[in-house]
Structure 1
Amino acid sequence: MKSESRYTLGFWTITLLLAIVKILFTLRPEVNLFTEEAQYWLWSQNLDWHYYSKPPLVAVLNFLSTSVFGNTELGVRINAILAGVGISWVTFLFGAYLYDRKTGFWAAMVMQAMPVWWLASTFHMTDSSLTFFWALGTYLAFRAICEGEKRLWIWAGLATSMGLMAKVVMILLLPTVFIYLLFAKKMKAQKGNFILFVGLSLLGFIPALIWNWENNFDTFKHLATLGGAGGGESKPFDFGNSLKWFLEYFSGQLAIISVFLLPAWILCFLEIFKVKEKSSIYLILPGLVTFSAFAALSFLKRTEVNWPVFAYTGFSVILGAWIVRQSKAWRRYAKGAIMLSIGIPVIFLLPDFSGLKSIPAIERGEQKALNRLSGHHTLAKRLDFLKDSLDLENEFYFSDSYHTSSELSFYLAGHPQSYVMNMGSRKNQFDLWEDMSQYQNKGNVGVFVSMNHESMEGRATFDSLLYEETFVPYFGEYPVRKVKIQVWKNLRSYQPFIPDSY
């Protein structure tokens, strides 16, 4: 018992220390919100049942957290950090439930060694809450199957429902549980409970149905386009491209579960397929179902590496159990690989306490890695300065990119609602909100901010140009990007590109 408590203490000590590392990273002044994080924060300032491309949970969580911590980077990222603690905790519980706390500890360490966990638990994306509720739903559903208690099926259904409000791909848990019930020959005994589980899970679709009913089912069209079912002229099948996309996808999956542990992963999976033990099959099934679904899609179009990784939480429990069973030499290797997989991100995320990151080559490498996370606050400070120096009043800010517009709203003083002037991109959430045509012939000053265009290319015309500059924010001594800033007087006409693609 004393040994078991030691593993619990070890788990919480390491997990909370890693949470502190991510808080310190978030507080680094040169590190800003990732552009998608800024977009989801802006959604929280415009609460709705659903959004163009995603369910509402990410916005609701941002609304709650920023109500406590303010509109700050920590106010946004605390959601991801807490999700990371939750993912690790559920992994620990799953390993302890199947085996013992020692296995739970190593399962959680494997989880925290995987780059997928670092991404989901550092940056507040939809995958943060999705991965937590997937892990929780998978764990509760397994306990429900084993113990047959209705209350566990109810909790599993509610967890799955919450996951659906994070990202629609959570629906893949339903066929996963169904397949396992058939495999374990428990469908007949659990049929009623499974139907209850499905019914409760599907409650998570209600916000999406309400919003899409009111908005021309735009989300469904968007998802169909992502799946290759629309969005332009059909093209002939190109085997070369398909093979390239699949290999990119497959190699990306190897990297995102930690290359340092790759030999252990291979041996562990070979053992599972040889023994076919039921709990191991359940743990591997969600990841395999999801991996296979996106692998098939990768033959039709380029598939993002991160799309299936939320379902890999069960893999860490399998590998944790495998590590515990191995010889001393293999355990030593696995511990070293885990230490490397955790230690390298820790060094990268922490502020420069040692001066190591001041070495030009390392600083340059960090700048490249953090390029999309830097320069936004500096740009906003420059715009706030121009507002004061040019004595602007009742001005509005707009860009050709929803990424830039979202960052402007977050970092500008007062957090003004910004606008996007579509110049040829596909539809996004800004196309559904009130646009800047409301300022037409009202005498307001419009501030155009772009990282892609030197001019508005006739999409908008104003009476006169008041000021123009090209601004370059820096990360240390290195330039991040060039930004065109133009200050215009009185919007005369507005003719944005009207997207017909989703």
Structure 2
Amino acid sequence: MHQTLRKLRVLFFKQVMKNPSPQKYLLIFWSVNLALAVIKLFFAFRPELDLFTEEAQYWLWSRNLDWHYYSKPPMVAVLNFISTGILGHKEVAIRMIPILAGLGTAWIVFRFTDYLYSSKKTACLAGLLFLGMPIHLLEFTFHTTDTSMTFFWTWAWFMLYRAIQENKTSLWVAAGLITALGIMSKATMILIFPASLIFLFLSGKLKEAGKQWLILLGISLLGFLPSLIWNLQNDFYTFKHLAALGGASGGEPKPFDLGLLVSRTSEYLSGQLAMVSVFFLPFFFFAVKKTIRSRELSSFYVALPGLLTFLGFGGLSLFTWIEVNWPGFAYSTFPVFLAPVVANMESGWKKYTSWAVGVSLALQILLLSPNIFQWKSQGPIFKAEKAIFKRMVGYEDLGNRIDFLQDSLGLSSPVLFSESYHVASELAFYVDGHPQPYTINMGSRKNQWDLWPGMDQFIGQERTFIFVSRGQESPESVTNFGRLIYEEKYPHAFRSDTLGFTKIQIWEDLLDYTPVDTGKF
């Protein structure tokens, strides 16, 4: 670890901070960017880790293509459909998408910075700062809706700036098309509209660019068509779900709880600081100070979306819990905001910069690297990985166990089901033949499985059913079967440490199914 940090520091300080050749900066940017991409590719093959449960869910969506899904637009499913169609239903096929999107987004950051400052050195710094932020490690290692959303957001925000500066209708159209693709990735892409209006108003260009902005709006709204079509057909489930996430859950108002409020907001703030890297906080201080003094519109432009999103979700944290990744898409232009300040720091701060970027990159390499020669099998690294990867463990072994039980007991086309859509999704990926699983509602909120054909279709049929759960001992509170054939508790472990047990039960003949309808979205 110490040697890795030292090498990264030497590379960064001697080559990036001192080398005057523009081509060298481009070479360094691509060397680091491609090296991280290769490490992420090897990460996809780590044998002890399986798909993240959300990745498995989005993969299963691609097996059931639709205009939209319960909680998200269709882009994540479409991309999975394309990648698995080319590479097969393998983990690397799913992980290849964020790897490529990460390469592309880092390049957009580089180009955006070079466009603003005409400096390959500053652009290289922006690219390395981007790669060093932990939020982008999450977005471009695991394939979630944030992957394509962040890519299209960064691209659209760059194209929009060019459209404003160059006053070309073609650039406004391009920005609108890219925004439409972003909307088909995640609904929060719509924040580009208020952010751009605020910038146009404060820069005094609202009147001049008003008609072009309407072109942007009109083209971008095409991205809502799949969602609108789907929600019209499905009782506006997505809107109800988003309202519930925003705290509008209905029912009796809850009494004010100061402790809960403090807990939510402090978790939000600490999470966001971690996502942009605590090592980069001094850079933010100096960049904000410089922008206030200089009143540079370009600096304000690249800082604006991250600031608005941070404040917006911060306000929402007063009323509900905020997932740490939700605001992260808008942080992608923060490196463009920081880079010109970092590039012109005094010698003492340049050394700090080399350490900050080196440590941020080294920690990512440490986390993603395989456990060759068992060097990560004990100590604090092992404990950290066990905590971080606990939702990615044991599913391939579980799928193999289900395959073995089917063969050994002579089961023909059993129905797989769980009370958890996370477990059900993993079963679909890792059980041989990728069967469509089912879920039962034992008291959970609604999800995508409530919109697909359910277990009720099997009532009265002479079928075999396999119940798999990491949280329930039996489905009997909502189901009534003819008889129980077999049951066991199957352990799942991270390397040498057992993390828990999965209950497996094999039943015959579903006589009745009475789901619990909480009415929650």
Q: TM-score range by the shorter chain?
A: over 0.9
Q: 1:233 & 1:430 partners in 2: Cα distance?
A: 28
Which of 67, 86, 91 aligns to 1:49? It is: 67
How has the CA–CA distance of structure 1 residues 365 and 312 changed in structure 2, closer, same or farther, with 3 Å as cutoff? closer
Aligned to 2:108: 90
How has the CA–CA distance of structure 1 residues 198 and 398 changed in structure 2, closer, same or farther, with 3 Å as cutoff? same
The DSSP-based 3-state class of the residue aligned with 1:487 is: strand
Which of 166, 172, 176 aligns to 2:191? It is: 172
After TM superposition, the structure 1 = structure 2 runs for residues 116-265 of structure 1, keeping only pairs within 5 Å, are 116-265=135-284
Aligned identity (percent) is 46
How has the CA–CA distance of structure 1 residues 354 and 318 changed in structure 2, closer, same or farther, with 3 Å as cutoff? farther
Q: 1:239 & 1:274 partners in 2: Cα distance?
A: 38
Deviations 1:295-350 (A, max 9, x none): 11111111112111110111111111111111122122112111100111111211
How far 1:264 moved relative to its partner?
A: 2.1
After TM superposition, the structure 1 = structure 2 runs for residues 14-53 of structure 1, keeping only pairs within 5 Å, are 14-53=32-71
Question: Is 230-239 or 382-391 further displaced after alignment?
Answer: 230-239
Question: Is 346-355 or 329-338 further displaced after alignment?
Answer: 346-355
Aligned to 1:59: 77
Aligned to 1:475: 494
The DSSP-based 3-state class of the residue aligned with 1:317 is: helix
- Name stretches of at least 5 consecutive residues in structure 2 with no aligned partner: 1-18
Deviations 1:173-195 (A, max 9, x none): 11111111111111122111111
How far 1:242 moved relative to its partner?
A: 1.9
Partner letter of residue 421 of structure 2?
A: Y
Aligned to 1:336: 355
How far 1:201 moved relative to its partner?
A: 0.9
The answer to whether the Cα contact below 8 Å between 2:286 and 2:341 also exists between their aligned partners in 1 is: no
The answer to whether the Cα contact below 8 Å between 1:364 and 1:478 also exists between their aligned partners in 2 is: no
Which of 314, 338, 341 aligns to 1:295? It is: 314
The answer to whether the Cα contact below 8 Å between 1:231 and 1:501 also exists between their aligned partners in 2 is: no
The answer to whether the Cα contact below 8 Å between 1:44 and 1:60 also exists between their aligned partners in 2 is: yes
Q: 1:130 & 1:32 partners in 2: Cα distance?
A: 24
Aligned to 1:9: 27
Which of 411, 429, 435 aligns to 2:454? It is: 435
The answer to whether the Cα contact below 8 Å between 1:232 and 1:501 also exists between their aligned partners in 2 is: no
Deviations 1:169-228 (A, max 9, x none): 000011111111111111122111111011111111000000000000110111111111
How has the CA–CA distance of structure 1 residues 443 and 303 changed in structure 2, closer, same or farther, with 3 Å as cutoff? same
Partner letter of residue 251 of structure 1?
A: S
Q: 1:368 & 1:226 partners in 2: Cα distance?
A: 26
How far 1:458 moved relative to its partner?
A: 2.5
How has the CA–CA distance of structure 1 residues 293 and 373 changed in structure 2, closer, same or farther, with 3 Å as cutoff? same
The answer to whether the Cα contact below 8 Å between 2:481 and 2:511 also exists between their aligned partners in 1 is: yes
Q: 1:155 & 1:75 partners in 2: Cα distance?
A: 29
After TM superposition, the structure 1 = structure 2 runs for residues 388-399 of structure 1, keeping only pairs within 5 Å, are 388-399=407-418
- Name stretches of at least 5 consecutive residues in structure 1 with no aligned partner: none
Q: 1:369 & 1:251 partners in 2: Cα distance?
A: 17
CA RMSD of aligned residues (A): 1.4
TM-score using structure 2 length: 0.94
Q: 1:394 & 1:112 partners in 2: Cα distance?
A: 46
Aligned to 2:4: none
Deviations 1:41-90 (A, max 9, x none): 00000000000000000000000000011111111111111111111011
How far 1:273 moved relative to its partner?
A: 2.6
Residue 69, structure 1, aligned to residue 91, structure 2:
no
How far 1:374 moved relative to its partner?
A: 1.0
Deviations 1:122-161 (A, max 9, x none): 0001001111111001100001101111111111111111
The answer to whether the Cα contact below 8 Å between 1:375 and 1:480 also exists between their aligned partners in 2 is: no
Deviations 1:387-411 (A, max 9, x none): 1111100201000100000000011
How far 1:471 moved relative to its partner?
A: 0.5
How has the CA–CA distance of structure 1 residues 354 and 393 changed in structure 2, closer, same or farther, with 3 Å as cutoff? closer
Q: 2:476 & 2:403 partners in 1: Cα distance?
A: 26
Q: 1:428 & 1:8 partners in 2: Cα distance?
A: 46
Deviations 1:215-272 (A, max 9, x none): 0011011111111122443213333322321121112111110012222222222222
Which of 239, 263, 267 aligns to 2:286? It is: 267
Partner letter of residue 473 of structure 2?
A: E
How has the CA–CA distance of structure 1 residues 361 and 317 changed in structure 2, closer, same or farther, with 3 Å as cutoff? closer
Deviations 1:422-441 (A, max 9, x none): 10000000011001222222
How far 1:288 moved relative to its partner?
A: 1.1
How far 1:363 moved relative to its partner?
A: 2.7
Partner letter of residue 128 of structure 2?
A: M
Aligned to 2:97: 79
Residue 426, structure 1, aligned to residue 445, structure 2:
yes
TM-score using structure 1 length: 0.98
Q: 2:230 & 2:97 partners in 1: Cα distance?
A: 24
Q: 1:413 & 1:266 partners in 2: Cα distance?
A: 53
The answer to whether the Cα contact below 8 Å between 1:154 and 1:200 also exists between their aligned partners in 2 is: yes
The DSSP-based 3-state class of the residue aligned with 1:122 is: coil
Q: 2:145 & 2:464 partners in 1: Cα distance?
A: 35
Question: Is 16-25 or 357-366 further displaced after alignment?
Answer: 357-366
Q: 2:113 & 2:380 partners in 1: Cα distance?
A: 41
Aligned to 1:461: 480
After TM superposition, the structure 1 = structure 2 runs for residues 314-463 of structure 1, keeping only pairs within 5 Å, are 314-353=333-372, 355-463=374-482
Partner letter of residue 378 of structure 1?
A: D
